[in-house]
Amino acid sequence: MDIGILLALQDFRNGSGAFLADFLSKMTYLGELNTVIVIMAIIYWSVSKEFGTYLLMGWSGNRIANGALKVTACAYRPWVRDARIVPYGNSITTATGYSFPSGHTMNAATVFGGGSVRKDLPGLLRIVLGLTVMLVAFSRIYLGVHCPQDILVGAAAGIFVMWLTAKLMQWVAARPEKDLLILCVGIGLAIAVAIYRGQTLSCGL
């Protein structure tokens, strides 16, 4: 069914001209690793250190979660599973590694989804941020580089991690003496996922 959805989108894309595809190609860059790092850095240094710290913590958690899920599922990219899938333009160059879940979607869920779950932000801004996550996620299947389940799980997991991060920061704010413990736990998780990844790469790319 997932391949059928991609083929239907591909047929629509091929018959509707390049306008929508070009727009979504630009939207997908909002989920690029370098893009989200620059955005988080600007927010941290120029807008709010508290908000920037929240995004950076959540992004770190999402990178750990994404890495663990990718090597556990070992899901191949759509065009590897079915040769009829032809990604749009040069979008294939940003689609590396396993397919599930979508890294771009989880990156977008960090920066934009992380803002959408913050009740201290204006309601309209939260809606715009949520829509941005949806557009980045949809761009990945429209361009043919991910399957629907990749973006759905990526968005859900990414926003869930940001919600957990917000709760964690509230907990640490009330217990500032625990910040070193949180740092050690984070480093430990990153090392554990790196070891796990190394042991499971035998499933092949």
Is the bond leading into 176 cis (omega within 30 degrees of zero)?
A: no
84-96 pLDDT, tens digit per residue, is 999 988 888 877 8
pLDDT digits (tens, 9 = 90+) for 25-68: 999 999 999 999 999 999 999 988 989 999 998 999 898 899 88
Residue 105: band (very low, low, confident or very high) from pLDDT cuts 50, 70, 90 = very high
Q: Tens digit of pLDDT for each residue in 166-185?
A: 888 888 777 777 777 777 77
Can you give the pTM of this predicted structure? 0.87
